[in-house]
Amino acid sequence: MSTAGTPDTGPAVVTLTMNPALDLCWEVERLQGIGKNRARVRSVAVGGGGINVARHIVRFGGRATAVHTAGGEVGLRLNRLLDEEGIDHVAVDIDDDTREALVLVETATHRSYHIVPSGPHLREREGRRCLELLERLAGACPYVVVSGSLPPGLPDDYYAAVARHVREAGSRLILDTSGPALRAALAEGVFLFRCNRTEAESLTGRAVSGFDEARALNEHLLTSGSAEIAVTTLGALGALCSTRHGHTELYTPPLPGEPLSDAGAGDSMVAALTAELAAGEDPVAACALGVATAAAAMLTPSTEPFDVDVALALRSQVKTTSG
């Protein structure tokens, strides 16, 4: 496990995962309502928004450290698996057990079901330790990614406190979360905010199905000071990237195969986008790789990682319109 970096040797990106999970992936031919369903263990992997983002940033050739909680026997196994995978990470010990999630794949239909419990209850002191560690690491890197849900026990304004700590450390916060924690963090202000249609609708109170609705939301986020860059994803349609220089529509490229799952598309997009920003790319170019990577993730079953070569090949097929 990592401890701390320096401006010269440390990670370009630090990610925060307050509620990671051990993802157990099983597969059955067809799910039956009567009798036993004989399953095959397909994989056991560490999941959670920030951990996934760190994993994929490294796959794109970047440098990242994942900060995460870990508790109980599941937490010990989670740490061991991250070590074996070679992911640079720092664990914050908690009293309760880290959650386990189940990904069930039905091979006959290519359907997958992601069953996720709410997670362990975190104490105030545990949340405070995460903040102190994050602030120390953020001072040595330009970008911090906060991705995933808040576990029970932490206040709704926890990510708002994270935003303040990151800003005071001189780093830029990229936010990808939902619910009350999202609203509180946006009230504090972040560098970049990515949301999907469900999260966008929770902010606007109405359907966000196309670029016009996304443009209205992004414009509000920019003018209110909630974000310097707003990215709203629109499923198979693509995404809208908005900055003070204007709005850019990015269209999902044609898929070279059958879409199998969208489970990892969001984290994959954030990872590609962040890796490009850390490498010095402008937001629109970074978002183009993000859209291509989300498309590549759709080609993989359940939560399996996307093919980097496919993502890079699809990037040139992402069409854009500025306005």
Contact between 268 and 233 (Cβ < 8 Å): no
Structure tokens, 22? 């051990």
- The CA angle 16-194-182, to the nearest 5 degrees, is 65
Query: Distance between CA 252 and CA 288 in Å, rounded?
Result: 9
Catalytic residue status for 267: yes
Structure tokens, 189? 């202000």
Sign of CA dihedral 312, 199, 193, 177: negative
At 167, is the secondary structure helix, strand, or coil? helix
Catalytic residue among 8, 83, 267, 307: 267
Instruction: Fill in the DSSP letter of residue 207.
Output: -
Query: Distance between CA 319 and CA 194 in Å, rounded?
Result: 19
Neighbours of 300 (CB within 10 A): 20
Pairing assessment for the beta strands 99-106 and 111-115 based on DSSP bridges: antiparallel
Structure tokens, 226? 């909630």
211's enclosing H/E stretch is helix 211-223
At 252, is the secondary structure helix, strand, or coil? coil
Catalogue the active-site residues: 267
